C-alpha cells in the first residue's frame, strides 16, 4: 500500500538550514509527484512545493528563494531543504502524494521546532 | 495566486444537525476543457494528518460517508455535513488545484456541543 514517511532533525536553530526526507513505498517516484505541505503550529496548511514524476520541481513563490526539493529514485526518497529558518517556520511538515485528486495520501508529518 | 476565502472560522453544532462551510476563490476554478471544478476538501482531526474528503468540488473520496456533500461551481463552493456525528470534530480546509501555487482556505473548526 502507499506509504509516505517524513523524517528530520526535530530542532533547528534560527538562521540554519532544515533538511527533511520523505521515504515512500508502494509506488514509484517516476510515476507520481510528491508534494510538501507545512502547517505552522496552530495554523492552517501551506503548499510548499512539489517534485514531479519526471524530476521537474515547482515551488511556492513565497518560499522559492529559500527552498529546494530533490530526490533519489533508487532510495525512494524525496528531500526538502530550506535555509535561513526563523521561528515562524516552526510547525509540522508533511509529504503527500496525489491520486486522481491532489494530496490523496499523506505522511504522518514531522514536527520542526526553530529555536535557539 | 488564487486566494481562497473560507468561512466561517469556527462553528459549534449538536450531533444530528447539519453544517455548511463555504469557500470562495478569487478566480474561477472551472476548467473549460473538461468542465471540472478544481476544488477539494480536507478533514483534519486533532493530532492527525489531513484526509481527502471531496475532489472536483463534488466527488466523494472512496470510503467517505455520504453525509459529506460538496457542491458549487466557478468561484463559490460549499461543504455540507448532514447528520453531524461526534467523530466529525475536526478542522476542514478547502484547496484549489486549478493553478500553481496550490492554495488552501484558512480552515474551519467544527466543534460538537
**Contact yes or no for A101 and B56 at CB 8 A:** yes
A21 near B CB under 8 A: no
b/e map of B1-29 (b: 16 or more CB within 10 Å)?
A: ebebebeeeebeeeeeeebebbbbbeeeb
Give A58's contacts in chain B (Cβ within 8 Å).
100-101
Q: Is the pLDDT of residue A73 over 90?
A: yes
Shortest Cα–Cα distance, A44 to chain B (Å): 6
| Among B1, B50, B59, beta carbon nearest to A106 | B50
Which tens digit of pLDDT belongs to each residue from A9-42?
999 999 999 999 999 999 999 999 999 999 999 8
**Contact yes or no for A46 and B52 at CB 8 A:** no
A60 near B CB under 8 A: yes
Q: 3-state DSSP call for residue A115?
A: coil
Q: Is the pLDDT of residue A100 over 90?
A: no
Nearest to B52 by CA among A44, A96, A59, A40: A96
Residue B85 phi/psi, 5° resolution? -110, 160
Bridge partners (DSSP) of residue B77 are: B23, B72
Determine how many CB atoms are found less than 10 A away from the CB of residue A23. 16
Selected for mutation to probe chain B from A102, A104, A107, A108 (highest B CB count within 10 Å) is A102
- Separation CA A105–CA A116 (nearest Å): 33
Bridge partners (DSSP) of residue B34 are: none
**So what's the pLDDT on residue A5?**
98
Give A46's contacts in chain B (Cβ within 8 Å).
104
Nearest to A22 by CA among A86, A82, A79, A84: A79
- Separation CA B91–CA B85 (nearest Å): 14
Which tens digit of pLDDT belongs to each residue from B8-23?
999 999 999 999 999 9
Mean pLDDT over B75-84 rounds to 97
Give A57's contacts in chain B (Cβ within 8 Å).
none
Which tens digit of pLDDT belongs to each residue from B32-49?
999 999 999 999 999 999
DSSP codes of every residue in B45-104: -TTS--EEEEETTTEEPTT--TTEEEEEETTEEEEEE-S--GGG-EEEEEEE-SSSSPEE
| Among A61, A101, A107, beta carbon nearest to B101 | A61
Q: Is the pLDDT of residue A95 over 90?
A: yes
**So what's the pLDDT on residue A111?**
97
- Separation CA B107–CA B9 (nearest Å): 7
Shortest Cα–Cα distance, B75 to chain A (Å): 19
Amino acid at each position: 500500500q502507499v506509504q509516505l514517511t517524513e523524517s528530520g532533525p526535530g530542532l533547528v536553530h534560527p538562521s540554519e538550514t532544515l533538511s527533511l526526507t520523505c521515504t515512500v513505498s508502494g509506488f514509484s517516484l517516476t510515476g507520481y509527484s510528491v508534494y510538501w505541505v507545512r502547517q505552522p503550529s496552530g495554523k492552517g496548511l501551506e503548499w510548499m512545493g512539489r517534485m514531479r514524476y519526471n524530476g521537474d520541481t515547482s515551488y511556492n513563490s513565497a518560499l522559492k528563494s529559500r527552498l529546494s526539493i530533490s530526490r533519489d529514485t533508487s532510495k525512494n526518497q524525496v528531500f526538502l531543504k530550506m535555509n535561513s529558518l526563523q521561528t515562524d517556520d516552526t510547525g509540522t511538515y508533511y509529504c503527500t502524494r496525489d491520486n486522481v485528486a491532489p494530496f490523496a495520501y499523506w505522511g504522518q508529518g514531522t514536527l520542526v521546532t526553530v529555536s535557539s | 495566486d488564487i486566494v481562497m476565502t473560507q468561512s466561517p472560522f469556527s462553528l459549534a453544532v449538536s450531533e444530528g444537525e447539519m453544517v455548511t462551510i463555504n469557500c470562495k476563490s478569487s478566480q474561477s476554478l472551472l476548467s473549460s476543457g473538461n468542465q471540472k471544478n478544481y476544488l477539494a476538501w480536507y478533514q483534519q482531526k486533532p493530532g492527525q494528518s489531513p484526509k481527502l474528503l471531496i475532489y472536483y468540488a463534488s466527488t466523494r473520496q472512496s470510503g467517505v460517508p455520504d453525509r459529506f456533500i460538496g457542491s458549487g461551481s466557478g468561484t463559490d463552493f460549499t461543504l455540507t455535513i448532514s447528520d453531524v456525528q461526534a467523530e466529525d470534530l475536526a478542522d476542514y480546509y478547502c484547496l484549489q488545484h486549478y493553478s500553481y501555487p496550490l492554495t488552501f482556505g484558512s480552515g474551519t473548526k467544527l466543534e460538537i456541543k
